[in-house]
Amino acid sequence: MAWNKKHLLDIQSLGADEIVTVLDTARAFKAVGERAIKKVPALRGKTVVNLFVEPSTRTRISFELAAQRLTADVVNFTAEASSLKKGETLKDTARNLEALNADFIVMRHSASGAPHFLSRFLRSSVINAGDGAHEHPTQALLDAFTIREKRGKIQGLNVTILGDILYSRVARSNIWALTKLGARVTLCGPATLVPRVFEKMGCRVTYNVEEAIADADVINLLRIQHERQRKTMFPSIGEYTSLFGLTKARLALTKPDALIMHPGPINRGVEIDSEIADSARSVILDQVTNGLAVRMAVLFLINGGQGPQGVTA
Amino acid sequence: MPQSIPVLNAAAMRRALTRIAHEIAERNEISSEVVLVGIQRGGVFLAGRLAAFLQSIWNHPVPVASLDVGMHRDDLNQTAAPNMHPTVIPFDITGKTVILVDDVLFSGRTARAALDALNDFGRARRIQLAVLVDRGHRELPIKADFVGKNVPTASKERVEVRLEEEGAPDEVTLQRL
Question: What would the pLDDT profile of A240-280 be if each residue is shown by its tens digit?
Answer: 999 999 999 999 999 999 999 999 999 999 999 999 999 99
| Chain B partners within 8 Å of A304 (Cβ) | 76-77, 79-82
Q: What is the pLDDT of residue A2?
A: 81
Q: Which element (helix H / strand E) includes A300?
A: helix A284-303
Within B67-155, residue ranges assigned H as helices are 109-119
Cα separation, B154 vs B136, whole angstroms: 9
Q: Is B136 inside a domain boundary?
A: yes
Supply the pTM of this predicted model. Answer: 0.92
Question: What would the pLDDT profile of A118-139 be if each residue is shown by its tens digit?
Answer: 999 999 999 999 999 999 999 9
Least confident piece of the model among A96-100, A307-311, B71-75, B107-111: A307-311
Rg of chain A taking only CA atoms, in angstroms: 19
Q: Which residue of A has its CA nearest to B102?
A: A313
Residue-range definition of the domain harbouring residue B132: 11-72+86-154
The number of domains in chain A is 2
DSSP type of residue B149: E
Site from A23, A39, A312 to mutate, B interface, most B CB atoms within 10 angstroms: A312
- Decide: helix, strand or coil at residue A75: strand
Same domain, A46 and A166: no
Q: Is A23 inside a domain boundary?
A: yes
Q: Is A11 inside a domain boundary?
A: no
Q: Is A310 inside a domain boundary?
A: no
Task: Give yes or no for a contact between B132 and B17, defined as CB atoms under 8 angstroms apart.
Answer: yes
Interface touch A28/B105, C-beta < 8 Å: no
CA atoms within 13 A on the CB side of A214: 5
Dihedral over Cα of A237, A242, A244, A246: its sign: positive
Beta-ladder partners of B173:
B6, B160
Cα separation, A27 vs B68, whole angstroms: 12
Q: Is B175 inside a domain boundary?
A: no
What ipTM does the predicted assembly reach? 0.85
Nearest to B104 among A42, A307, A313 (CB): A313
Query: What CATH number is attached to the domain comprising B56?
Result: 3.40.50.2020
Residue-range definition of the domain harbouring residue A192: 137-287
Within chain B, residue ranges assigned H as helices are 10-27, 42-58, 109-119
Relative to beta strand B171-176, strand B158-162 is antiparallel
Site from B77, B93, B156 to mutate, A interface, most A CB atoms within 10 angstroms: B77
Q: Is B106 inside a domain boundary?
A: yes
Q: Is B68 inside a domain boundary?
A: yes
Q: Which residue of A has its CA nearest to B113?
A: A41
The number of domains in chain B is 1
Least confident piece of the model among A69-73, A111-115, A304-308: A304-308
